[in-house]
Amino acid sequence: MRVIYGLAERGEEVTNTSLASRLAVSPSSASGMVTKLSQQGLVAHVPYQGIGLTKEGLLLARSVLRRHRLIESYLVSELGYTWDEVHAEADALEHAVSDLLIERIAGKLGNPVRDPHGDPIPLADGSVDEQPTRILDELEPGAVGEIVRVWDTDPDLLRYLADRQIGLGERIEVVERQPFGGPLVVKVGSPPQAATHALGKEIAQALSVAVL
């Protein structure tokens, strides 16, 4: 359900094929999962048109995301984890901790609205503080903004970004889109100290920017 929510959040089509790819399972396994969720009233599946969460499914998915993202935030803020270390830990813990502990964590952290990757943390009532953003790969040369979210949880990608000081809150300017599928050339940081980077499509599609 978290994957269904995530694909829809990015505006991507949710199908058995896309779910199978993200979950690293066979399409038949993904189809079986969707069927079970549909029987429970958590998803609506229209053959050949796509899969969506019902109202009940949306609230449940956001509840799971709240737990996951608060745990990630706690691990970074209080236990010294780095942002590339927390996703797998949160996966293991999110179903084990109690609702009381989750709310204690939220209170301890001052009820944050974003996790270490910039993902919005749903509130206890299921509402979400949305922020208008654009995927970096969609921006044209001359666009300037602030990096506010990293969609990819691949530890290697996150470490790559951290090593180059490409992180949340950094100013980013699109300088050039190189031809024939080449990289996106950007400047990261405040002038005149801004560093120039050539980012491939995978990274350019993983960064969300609040355009200034």
Task: Tell me the pLDDT of the chain (212 aa) as tens digits.
Answer: 889 998 888 888 899 899 999 898 999 999 999 999 999 999 997 777 689 999 999 999 999 999 999 999 999 999 999 999 999 999 999 989 999 999 999 999 999 999 999 999 999 999 998 889 999 999 999 999 999 999 988 999 999 999 999 999 999 999 999 999 899 999 999 999 999 999 999 999 999 999 99
Domain spans of the chain, in order of start: 2-53, 65-130, 134-211
Global pTM value = 0.90
DSSP state for residue 193 in the 8-state scheme: S
**134-211 has the same fold as 2-53:** no
Q: Which fold has domain 2-53?
A: Arc Repressor Mutant, subunit A (1.10.10)
Dihedral angle, C-alpha 72, 75, 76, 82, nearest 10 °: -90
CATH placement of domain 134-211: 2.30.30.90
Would you mind telling me the total number of residues written for the chain in this entry?
Answer: 212
Alpha-carbon distance of 32 to 38, in angstroms, equals 10
Which helix (H) or strand (E) element contains residue 135?
A: strand 134-135
- Cross-strand pairs, 45: 51
Q: Which among 41, 46, 61 has a CA at the least distance from the CA of 14?
A: 46
Q: 65-130 — its CATH code?
A: 1.10.10.10
The one-letter code for the residue type at 20 is: A
